[in-house]
Structure 1
Amino acid sequence: MEKFRTATYEVHNPKIKKSVRFAVLADLHGSIFGEENNTLLKKIQEYAPDAILLAGDMVVRMDPSTLETARKLLCTLAKNFPIFYAMGNHETKMKAKEHIYRNEYLEYQAELKQKGICFLANEKNKVVLAGNSFVVNGLELPLEYYHKPFSPKLTSEKMEELMGKPDPEAINILLAHNPKYGRTYFRWGADLILSGHYHGGVLRFSRHVGAISSQFIPFPKYCCGDFYKNGKCMIVSAGLGEHTVPLRIHNPRELIFIEMKP
């Protein structure tokens, strides 16, 4: 049976009036923890988050069976929790017009939307959680920003073109799958940034240091763990799964819990 650990972060923000709890899933890639994912479901239900945030890559683009795995898990969670789903590179590739499994992906997305899951593809959603006003922003980067090993710089101007500006009156959460552009995300002004994509750097040396990114960049800056700048926080998940090369060294799969406090 696959195993995972939980990583819990406490994030303080002056805009928070009353504590709010989030569960964050990234890079599931079709992994299953216990029968019907019951081990993962139980852990999330025990934490009782106010909302669940998905930082992309719940599926594997060339494996349609992962759509069913993610669908079952998310439909079950949607019965009890609001869920916000941002695109990873695998979702973006799967829904492209030329992709062999495009129809299967669109059916998956349609069913999850019907269950109340909020998909955010360069979109934002206002929501009140525990008396706090949030805007959840879901960034979908064009695929050129995932090229290996070279991808273009993400400028502040391009970021605003994709996402507009954050709401100065609300607590802004940015779901941004690719952590390579952490500096731009901080400049954009989100209070909490959530990423994945790097799978903890494959070989993990410490809380923040992994060997290589998914784009073959050695010792990437925002590899895993928590980072802070000017009162803003970025948390990068090591992910719940992997694909193609299922290798992890000193780098357990992880489910993230976050408690935001005043």
Structure 2
Amino acid sequence: MIPFWIGGFILAAVIFTVVVVLASRRENKKLVVERYEIRSPKIPEAFDDFRIVFLTDLHCSEFGEENRELIEMVKKCRPHMILAGGDMLISKEDKSIEVPLKLMHQLAEKYPVYYADGNHELRLMRNEEIFGVRYKEYIHELKEYGVWHMSNETVILEQEGQFIHLTAVDLEPKFYQRFRIPEMKQEDMEQAVGKAFRDRFQILLAHNPNYFETYAQWGADLVLAGHFHGGMVRIPKINRGVISPQFQLFPKYDAGEFHIGNSTMILSRGLGNHSIKLRLFNKPEISCITLKSRRDKTWH
């Protein structure tokens, strides 16, 4: 016969688990908009009040039928451009790619959309022996919809004869290792995407936030990242994420806005999740970013 105290402990553990699961399922659907304002003297006057919606880590999630809730919330941000930061799908053989394709199609009908790969897209690309040509088909469909897919390249964005740069970097598999953070050097960035054009405002789509120091050293003025899902569980009051997908406890970069010198990183909590569908105190995020031109010398 099980002692009373052990039975009580088991019952409490079961109740706690049920409460966590139910709370997480509810939180996974509580989509919110987080607003950020980026000020820099490098932002041309033609890009003053230029609005960017940044979406990342959808992982095939849906908010309303065919993501209508998500699309409506994007519309309220009145964006000039949509940036997708990767991991919009799930790299498993039994997972459909229809949800992110439909979302990108609907967004591209209304806005310019630029799409960078995360580790899930890159896993599809690098493992054709497992996934076949699914990655090629996916990218082909994105391009058919008018989405600009970016892979280790820079696009020059123009407004009224003034310019900013948008770069997307595909990180090597070693930079997604679990339990450790390999060193990334500025040379690694330059080998992948070349040198930054430092006289113009430089946006960098880099899925993994661990290497913000390197991105800043390379020359990124604004880094947009995801991957960490906000730390899955966030601790209220201190507002810290508990664990990253690479099994880092209390990661240095978990979610929100970070600064190194004149570089800013916006790290989205992302929209979905995959293997462990856990979110607590960590609502899915649409990032609405407004660029502000400044003629003075103070950046932050």
TM over 0.5: yes
Equivalent of 2:240 in 199, 203, 209: 209
Query: Residues 255 and 184 (structure 1 numbering): CA distance in 2 closer, same or farther, change over 3 Å?
Result: same
Q: CA deviation at 1:125?
A: 0.8
User: Could you tell me how far apart the structure 1 residues matched to 2:225 and 2:175 are?
Assistant: 14
1:242 equivalent in structure 2:
273
Equivalent of 1:174 in 192, 204, 229: 204
Unpaired segments ≥5 residues, structure 2: 1-25, 294-300
1:3 to 2:53 alignment = no
TM-score between both structures, scaled by the size of structure 2: 0.83
1:60 equivalent in structure 2:
90
- Percent of pairs identical after alignment? 39
User: Could you tell me how far apart the structure 2 residues matched to 1:34 and 1:97 are?
Assistant: 32
Q: Is the 8 Å Cα contact of residues 213 and 260 (structure 2) preserved in structure 1?
A: no
Unpaired segments ≥5 residues, structure 1: none
Query: Residues 63 and 13 (structure 1 numbering): CA distance in 2 closer, same or farther, change over 3 Å?
Result: farther
Equivalent of 1:190 in 217, 220, 227: 220
2:292 equivalent in structure 1:
261
The DSSP-based 3-state class of the residue aligned with 1:61 is: coil
User: Could you tell me how far apart the structure 1 residues matched to 2:161 and 2:63 are?
Assistant: 33
CA deviation string 1:160-201 (max 9, x = no partner): 111211112321110000001111111111111000000000
Following superposition, which runs of at least 4 residues in structure 1 exceed 6 angstroms of deviation?
none
Q: Alignment length, in residue pairs?
A: 262
Task: Please identify the structure whose Cα radius of gyration is greater.
Answer: 2
Alignment of 1:34-113 (within 5 A): 34-62=64-92, 65-113=95-143
Q: CA deviation at 1:230?
A: 1.7
Q: Is the 8 Å Cα contact of residues 93 and 99 (structure 1) preserved in structure 2?
A: no
Equivalent of 2:255 in 215, 224, 234: 224
